[in-house]
Amino acid sequence: MTPAPPHDIRRRAEELFTSGLYCAESVLLALAESLNIKSDLIPKVATGFCSGLSRTCGPCGALTGGIMGLGLSLGRTGHARDVNSMYAATQGLVRAFESEFGSRDCRVLLGCDLGTVEGQAFFRANKLGEKCLVFTGRTAEMAAQILDETAHGSHRLPSGS
């Protein structure tokens, strides 16, 4: 499904993050580029998902950007389209993310509340952007791998979905 190898998509997401885009924006744009999707809406649509849902201690923006990236290929365009492949891919990405990083929540992953002045100061003082760079790159890579597996029929819907 993705023309570039997942590792290259990881590197691209890391480049985008290092250039000044945030987590969700970087992951979504790297995946969109790999799918040859160009839109003025990308990365714009992802901005509110960055920093744990706009500093509200929500899910990691890299993860939500990855889910949006999966949707570029697997999402629905109308009510008649089945959701199972998208749900399976999302569940797989969430499981992989939690397995690798221990949580899906920005506050837990970083150990601070980005919605507070103190949390933002802690983030800067402890150079936590370096952790975000890792979350961003790995999530883009994991999502790209899931898209590859889905394209080759090796990604299966978990039971009980």
Asked whether the predicted pLDDT for residue 160 surpasses 80, the reply is no
pLDDT of residue 24: 99
Identify which has the larger pLDDT, 30 or 82. Answer: 30
* 2 confidence band (pLDDT: 50, 70, 90): low
CA 149/CA 129 separation, integer angstroms? 30
Residue whose entry in the numeric block shows the structure tokens 């992951």: 27
Average pLDDT of the chain, as a whole number: 94
132 Cβ neighbours under 8 A, 6+ residues apart: 17, 22, 23, 62, 110
Question: How confident is the model over 46-61, as a mean pLDDT?
Answer: 98
Cβ contact 106:59 at 8 Å: yes
* 152 confidence band (pLDDT: 50, 70, 90): confident
Joined tokens for residue 92: 């797989």
Question: How confident is the model over 27-44, as a mean pLDDT?
Answer: 98
**Interaxial angle between packed helices 129-151 and 6-18, expressed in degrees from 0 to 180 and rounded to the nearest 10:** 150
pLDDT of residue 156: 52
pLDDT of residue 155: 53
pLDDT in tens, 123-134: 999 999 999 999
CA 11/CA 131 separation, integer angstroms? 15
Beta strands in the chain (DSSP E): none
List the domain boundaries for the chain. 6-150
Question: How confident is the model over 114-143, as a mean pLDDT?
Answer: 99
Question: How confident is the model over 19-31, as a mean pLDDT?
Answer: 99
What pTM did the predictor assign? 0.93
pLDDT of residue 158: 46
pLDDT of residue 154: 63
Asked whether the predicted pLDDT for residue 157 surpasses 80, the reply is no
pLDDT of residue 80: 84
